[in-house]
């Protein structure tokens, strides 16, 4: 089976500071991520890509990385100049750099995505060298690619909180250098969706029945942990919402501690 690289992204912005939930989410996401991936596959590497962090948050990140024995890398300069924007929430950082290991199945995870089991669709993508992403429960948010994607694939509801790239699939950010962006944040998801649509190989979306989007569909923690393989806790990293710390953090930490014993 193809070896894999799992990478997380976390970064700061002037528009809104990272909340304490962001590091808590990352800590739990890495803890589960290592357990799940190492149990499922024989060759997996892990990396945290960070950008524009304050000294105090970087210190906390180093502690988390040491705790879980994962590498971390500053990618603050590894985007085209027009995509390095510190003033607004910037999801383009997941592509800094676009690929780290072109020979691996490379999975990019936002720090607010937690997998406590391996989703069936993700395993299928890994085994078949397919491109894979999440399903968006909220609808279609593609920024400056919206009109084009409405014509090409009007039914696609892709969420880029988790993106898996098969070996050999390059991501070309150069096309964005000359493109004026009117919706900076959502255009990254549109860019990802365009790559998905244009990819000629196998491609899959992980359904909401496997990874639920909790900002849209609030599900009781016990049901979530039993019936689903993971959750996307949108809006918690920058403190727009506090449902992670109110409802899900402690139950998932208890589950992680239990899983670590076996």
Please, what are the domains in the chain? Answer: 4-260 (3.90.550.10)
CA 134 to chain centre: 9
pLDDT tens-digit series, residues 3-43 = 899 999 999 888 777 888 999 999 999 999 999 999 988 89
Q: Residue with structure tokens 């979306």?
A: 205
pLDDT in tens, 133-143: 999 999 999 99
Higher per-residue pLDDT: 108 or 175: 108
Rounded to 5°, angle at Cα 157 from 151 and 160: 115
pLDDT in tens, 243-253: 999 999 999 99
Residue 182 vs residue 87, higher pLDDT: 182
Interval 29-40: pLDDT, tens = 999 999 999 998
Q: Single out the residue of 62, 65, 24, 37 nearest to residue 252, CA to CA.
A: 24
Q: Pick the closest to residue 10 from 21, 31, 26 (CA basis).
A: 26
Gap between the Cα atoms of 166 and 189, Å rounded = 18
- Sheet harboring 211-213: ordered strands across? 113-115, 230-232, 211-213
Work out the number of other CB atoms within 10 angstroms of the CB of residue 197: 15
Dihedral (Cα; 209, 136, 95, 177), 10-degree rounding: 160
The answer to whether 4 touches 41, Cβ cutoff 8 Å, is yes
Q: What does pTM read for this prediction?
A: 0.95
Decide the pairing of beta strands 203-206 and 211-213: unpaired
pLDDT digits (tens, 9 = 90+) for 183-241: 988 999 999 999 999 999 999 999 999 999 999 999 999 999 999 999 999 999 887 88
Per-residue pLDDT of 81-103, as tens digits, reads 889 887 777 899 999 999 999 99
Sequence-distant (6+) residues with CB within 8 A of 134 are 113, 158, 159, 160, 161, 162, 205, 206, 211, 213, 232
């Amino acid at each position: 089976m193809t070896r894999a690289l799992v990478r997380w992204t976390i970064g700061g912005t002037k528009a809104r500071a990272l909340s304490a939930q962001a590091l808590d989410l990352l800590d739990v996401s890495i803890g589960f991520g290592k357990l799940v991936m190492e149990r499922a596959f024989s060759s997996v590497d892990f990396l945290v890509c960070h950008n524009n962090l304050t000294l105090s948050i970087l210190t906390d990140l180093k502690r988390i990385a040491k705790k879980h024995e994962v590498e971390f890398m500053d990618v603050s300069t590894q985007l085209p100049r027009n995509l390095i924007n510190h003033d607004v929430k910037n999801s383009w950082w997941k592509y800094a750099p676009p690929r780290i290991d072109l020979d691996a199945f490379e999975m990019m995870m936002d720090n607010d995505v937690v997998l406590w089991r391996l989703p069936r669709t993700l395993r299928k993508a890994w085994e078949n060298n397919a491109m894979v992403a999440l399903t968006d429960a909220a609808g279609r948010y593609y920024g400056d690619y919206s009109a084009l994607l409405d014509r090409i694939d009007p039914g696609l509801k892709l969420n880029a909180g988790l993106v898996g790239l098969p070996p050999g699939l390059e991501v070309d950010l150069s096309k964005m250098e000359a493109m004026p962006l009117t919706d900076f944040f959502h255009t990254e998801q549109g860019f990802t969706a365009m790559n998905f649509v244009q990819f000629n190989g196998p491609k899959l979306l992980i359904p909401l029945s496997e990874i639920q989007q909790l900002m849209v569909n609030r599900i009781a923690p016990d049901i979530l942990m039993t019936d689903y393989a993971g959750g996307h806790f949108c809006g918690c990293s920058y403190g727009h919402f506090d449902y992670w710390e109110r409802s899900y953090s402690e139950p998932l930490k208890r589950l992680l501690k239990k899983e670590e014993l076996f």
